[in-house]
Amino acid sequence: MKIAIGNDHAAGALKAVIVDYLKELGHEVTDLGANDGEMCDYPEYGERVGRAVVSGEADCGVLICGTGVGISIAANKVPGVRAAVCSETATARLVKQHNNANIIAFGARIVGTELAKDIVKAYLDAEFLGGRHQVRIDKIREIEARG
């Protein structure tokens, strides 16, 4: 699977760990995040990953900032993105199963390294359930289309 990853200055070290972990799992990773550790603005990286996912350049995305919230809000401004913040594995699984989230986000200041790996694995192992959940995704798309 092709996975785009993005981060701001608060998450460089955790991003490096997650990139290595994704590669260990056999995924192709495109790093669209900050690398120098200097102060930067998370919206730029949320948008980059969002556009990569929506264009098909990546199958899904992982975003990391201090809390995961700001970068996910930015990504969700890209039409077609369904980014969800996950601070534990149950949410990571459910956002894929119920919401068909195409991007997950978490906070480097919120979750530790091992939990971050578990969140990523839970998300990647889950499958969208369709059915009644697809009806809801379609309604989200209708809202998005109305602007």
Q: List the catalytic residues.
A: 65, 98
Distant-in-sequence, close-in-space partners of 47: CB < 8 Å, separation ≥ 6: 74, 75, 77, 78
Question: For helices 113-125 and 12-24, what crossing angle results, to 10°?
Answer: 40
Amino acid sitting at position 42: Y
Give residue 106's identity as a one-letter amino acid code: F
